[in-house]
Structure 1
Amino acid sequence: MKARPNMKQYHIDNYIVLGKKYFEEDNLDQALFYFNKAYQLGRFKDIDLMLDMAIIYDERNEFHKAFNMYQEIIACDESEARAYYGIAILYDHQDKFNEAIRYYQKAIACDPYYVKAYFFLAYAYDSVGEEDKAIENYEKVLALDPDDFWSLVNLGAIHENRDNIEEAITLMERALTIDEGHHMALFNMGVLLSKQQKIHAAKAYYQKTIKITKNYPYAYLNLGVIYRDEGRYDKAISVFTEGIMHNQEAVFLYYNRGCCYLKVDRIEAAEQDIINVLKKYPKMADYVQNDRELQELIHYSDVIKNILEQSEVI
C-alpha cells in the first residue's frame, strides 16, 4: 500500500522553495508573497522561514512587521540568537544605538561565538562614545576571527583617535595583508603616516587610494593639502581638480582649490570655486566670511558679497 502524500506539507515546501528562489534574485515582493503563503499554511512555526520574512520586512523598511516577526520567533525559542540580533539591527538602522546594544548583548548571551553580534556591538558602543567597550568587543571579534578586515580597520581608527599611532599602524598593516587593495585601509595608512611626519610615504598611500577608487574625495583632499603645505600650489590645484572631476559634490575640494588659486593670483578661478561652495553648501557662508585668507577675495567679488549678504552673515 502506497503512503498517501501530505498535500499541505507539499504546498508549504513548494512555497518556501519559490520564496527562496525570488529572495536570491532580490525580488523581495515575490519572495514575501510565497513566504507568507507558507507561513499561513504552516501548522508549526518554521523559524528559518520567519527569519527570512523578518529580514525582508527590514529591507522594505517595515520596522514594526520585522520587529513583531522577531518577537514571534523569540516566543517560539527564547534562545534564538538570530532573532535578538535581528532586532538589534533594526534599532541600529535607526541610529538607536543604546537599544541596539541591549539586543546585541542578548544575542551574544545566547551564542557566545556570534562574531557579527560582537562586531556591531563594538560599532554601537563606538557610536555612543564608549570607546573602551568598543575596543573590547572588536578584540573579541579578532579573537574569534583574526582576519576580520573591518574589525582591524575600525579598531585601528579608534587607536588613531587616541593617538596610539603605532598600535593603529600595526592593525592597519594586518588589514592590508587581508586586502591589500582596499581604499579605506590604504587611506588610513596615509593618515597615520602623516601623523608620524612620514610625508613621502603618506603621499604614496593617498596615491594608491586614488588609483583604487576615484570616488573617495578625502584622499584627494589630504594629498592636495600636503602639496599646499609644501607650497606646491599648482600641484595641489591639479589634485583638487582631479578630485572634483570624480566627486562633484565634495565642496571641501572646491574650497581648498579656491584658496590655492588665490596663492597663485588666479582670482577669477578662486572666485568661481568659492561661489560653487556657497551655492552647493550654503551653510559654509559663515566659514567663508571668517576665513582671513578670503577677505581680499570677498572685497573683490560682488557676487560673493551678495551671496553672503543673502545668507545674513555680513
Structure 2
Amino acid sequence: AAHAALAQGRRNEAIQHYETVLQVNPTIVAANVALADLSLARGQRAEAAKYARAALKENPRLAGPLVVLGRVALEESRVDEAIDLLQKALDVNPNLPSAFFGLAYAYQLKGNRDRAIQNYRKVIAFSPGDAASYNNLAWLLADDARSQGEALRFAQKALELQPRNGRAMDTLGWVYFKQEKLAEAEKHFRAAGEILPNEAAIQYHLGLVAHRQGRTADASAALKRALLINPNFEDAATARKLLQELGG
C-alpha cells in the first residue's frame, strides 16, 4: 500500500503507512529505510537520521541509510563526517549517484576542486540527466581556461535539462564571463536575476560584468543590491572592495 501511495505521489499517506508498520515492529528495515528517505526529502533531518540509524542497527551494510546520514551531516556542515559516511556507502554499493553527488559537494565545500570534479563526473556517468551535477561541474571547470569549452557544454546541458533554473542561467553567464563574452554573460545574469531576484551572487555577477564593460554607475548599483540582499554572501568582501574602488 505504501509503495502504491508513493508511486502515485501520495507521500503523506505513505509516511503514515510506514509509521503504522513500525508501531507494530520497529525493527522492519524497509520501513525505516523508506522513512529515512522521505524525512530527508521533507527537510526533517533529525527524523531522517533516526530512521537511518534504526535501519543500520538491523543491517550495518545498507548503502541507502549511510547516504542519508551523510547528507544530514553535509547539511549540518559536518563535512569530514559526511565524506566518511558517503565513502562507506560506496564501499557497500559502488554505483550510487547520490553518494557520488554528496562526496562531490563535500569536496567542493572543502575547496578540493579536483576531487569534486572527479565525483561529479561519476554522477553524470551513472545518471546522465542530473542537472545539478552538470551545473556544478560547469562552475568548477570555468575557472581553468583549458576546460572552459567543456564548462560551456555542461552549463548548456544543465539549462537544457532545467530551462527555468535560475542557478543554471547564472552558471552559464559565469562561463561566458570567464570567456570574456560579456554581452552573453550579462544576458544570462539578467535572466537569472528575474527568476531569483533575492540571490546576492547574481547581482554581484551583474556588477562584475558592468564593471568590465566600463558601466561604473550600473556596477555600483548592482554591487549595492547584492550587499543589501545579503551582507555576508560568499563574495561580499570582494564586492565591498570593488564598490570602494568605484567610489561607492
Give the TM-score range, shorter chain: 0.7 to 0.9
1:247, CA displacement in angstroms? 8.7
CA distance in 2, matches of 1:25, 1:38: 14
Aligned ranges for residues 1-314 of structure 1 at < 5 Å? 24-25=11-12, 31=16, 38-42=21-25, 45-54=27-36, 59-62=43-46, 67=49, 69-163=51-145, 164-233=147-216, 235-236=218-219, 240=222, 244=225, 248-251=228-231, 291=244, 294=247
Q: Structure 1, residues 97-129: CA drift from partner, whole Å, max 9, x if none?
A: 221112212222322322111111111122223
Instruction: Give the TM-score of the pair, scaled to structure 1.
Output: 0.61
Q: How many residues align?
A: 236
Distance 1:120 1:26, change over 3 A: farther
The 8 Å contact of residues 210 and 218 in structure 2, kept in 1 or not, is answered as yes
1:36, CA displacement in angstroms? 5.1
1:151, CA displacement in angstroms? 0.7
1:152, CA displacement in angstroms? 0.7
The 8 Å contact of residues 63 and 90 in structure 2, kept in 1 or not, is answered as yes
More relative contact order, 1 or 2 (CA 8 Å, 6+ apart): 2
Instruction: Give the TM-score of the pair, scaled to structure 2.
Output: 0.75
AA aligned to 1:190 is G
The 8 Å contact of residues 45 and 72 in structure 2, kept in 1 or not, is answered as no
- Higher Cα Rg: structure 1 or 2? 1
The 8 Å contact of residues 216 and 247 in structure 1, kept in 2 or not, is answered as no
The 8 Å contact of residues 36 and 48 in structure 2, kept in 1 or not, is answered as yes
AA aligned to 1:106 is K
Name structure 2 gaps, 5 residues minimum: none
Distance 1:202 1:79, change over 3 A: same
1:251, CA displacement in angstroms? 4.6
The 8 Å contact of residues 139 and 175 in structure 2, kept in 1 or not, is answered as no
Distance 1:94 1:221, change over 3 A: closer
CA distance in 1, matches of 2:245, 2:219: 20
User: Alignment RMSD, CA only?
Assistant: 3.8
